[in-house]
Structure 1
């Protein structure tokens, strides 16, 4: 079993834990309580260059992050209430604006999509349509540069949906945690019922 390093990103009174930091926000649109966090989606996004013309280069979505060393995993459970195209929420692994990974649920082209975007200079997006607006999700950092994204199925087991590489180095500061944004316009809502960082990798897969 993994040893819990810190069961949460905030205290029971809604204060940030010692190592938790906001990115691209001061947290004013987030409500942190013992039972979870609620966020009204604000304008912003993470995307770099791929597909769209003219190219979209954004790294301004709000997030709540903690240091994320190798042999750790970050986990959350949430429900999103989207209102506009590309409303999204989930987990973010962030090194810098050209090197990051996000995984969660995104509303795109009239459907809810379980999505993962991996960015090493250019963004690589994979999706699958889902029937519900909520999920339990975790990302494990299995080595300095390797990451695994998993979603919890109805039976409670974890299914991996992505094995990814990020160009992160041993000396880099890599952080991970919650993110939520509305690239088009303010409106949607997300409720996170848990968020935690754990030491140890509970993931089995071999060649």
Structure 2
């Protein structure tokens, strides 16, 4: 993965998929207060459809990557934040940190009609700045993440129609409680990664 020129995206440039409880933009970034019960999921295992995530999205063209940085500060089951990439109501990908069964985990949900879910514990990321990067190239969306300035970690390679109109940006959800406020410190657009592995 190479470092490319990065362009900051103004918070006002996006459109919310679902309006949050409150949004405050100041010198530190954007603070988003999620509505209780907000979530994104389709059918698998649980049997329900939730499409009330708070995602601030803008176009993600082919050959581009979006990066979102946020403070990982969660306390309740399924508190979550990261990047949301959306084609339509039944085709989307969310990736970020989620508190599950008392532990912060880096994960992704890939939805093509029905959702799947993968998690890897990252308990040492709590209280730190996390950046999630979604890189669109060809027929795939490649998700990487890192904490502070540590090396990028591969999270997921997911199928994504090369010709689809895709929107992406920061998101958060609070499926089980009121009062979750997430501080997002950056939203950036850059070139897609050149390859899946460092030597490419």
TM-score range, shorter chain: 0.7 to 0.9
CA deviations over 1:81-119 (Å, ceiling 9, x no partner): 323211111100011111000011111111111111111
Select the residue among 132, 136, 157 that pairs with 2:131: 136
Distance 1:156 1:111 in 2: 20
C-alpha distance after superposition, 1:6-59 (max 9, x if no partner): 41232xxxxx13xx212211x66111234311112223111011112xx02111
The aligned residue for residue 106 of structure 2 is 114
Question: What is the TM-score of this pair, normalised by structure 2?
Answer: 0.87
Are 1:93 and 2:85 counterparts? Answer: yes
Alpha-carbon distance change, 81 to 189 in structure 1, aligned in 2, over 3 angstroms: farther
Cα distance in structure 2, aligned partners of 1:156 and 1:107: 21
Q: Which runs of 5+ in 1 are unaligned?
A: 11-15
- Residues 80 and 188, structure 1, Cα contact 8 Å, conserved in 2: no
> TM-score, length-normalised on structure 1?
0.84
**Aligned residue among 184, 189, 192 for 1:197:** 189
Say which is worse superposed, 148-157 or 101-110, in terms of deviation.
148-157
- Deviation per residue, 1:158-177 (Å, 9 max, x gap): 221211113x351x321000
Q: Is the Cα contact below 8 Å between 1:7 and 1:195 reproduced in 2? A: yes
Q: Which residue in the other structure is 1:24 paired with?
A: 18
The separation in 2 between residues aligned to 1:37 and 1:153, in whole angstroms, is 19
Aligned match of 1:73: 65
| Higher mean displacement: 185-194 or 106-115 | 185-194
The answer for the alignment partner of 1:60 in structure 2 is 52
Structure 1 consecutive aligned stretches of length 4 or more whose deviation exceeds 3 Å:
153-156
Spell out, residue by residue over 1:137-195, the C-alpha distance to the aligned partner (whole angstroms, 9 max, x if none): 1110112x3011101266632221211113x351x321000001111221222111111
SS in 2 for 1:157: coil
Indicate the SS of the match to 1:82: coil
Query: What is the aligned partner in structure 1 of residue 35 from structure 2?
Result: 42
Q: 1:43-78: CA deviations, max 9, x gaps?
A: 3111011112xx021111111111011110011221
Structure 2: runs of 5 or more not aligned: none
Does residue 159 of structure 2 align to residue 165 of structure 1?
yes
Secondary structure (helix, strand or coil) at the match of 1:81 reads: coil
Give me the whole-angstrom Cα distance separating, in 1, the residues matched to 2:147 and 2:81.
18
Instruction: Give the length in aligned residue pairs.
Output: 193
Pick closer, same or farther for the CA change 1:159–1:203 going to 2, 3 Å: farther
CA contact (8 A) 1:89 1:106 kept: yes
CA separation in 1, counterparts of 2:121 and 2:16?
30
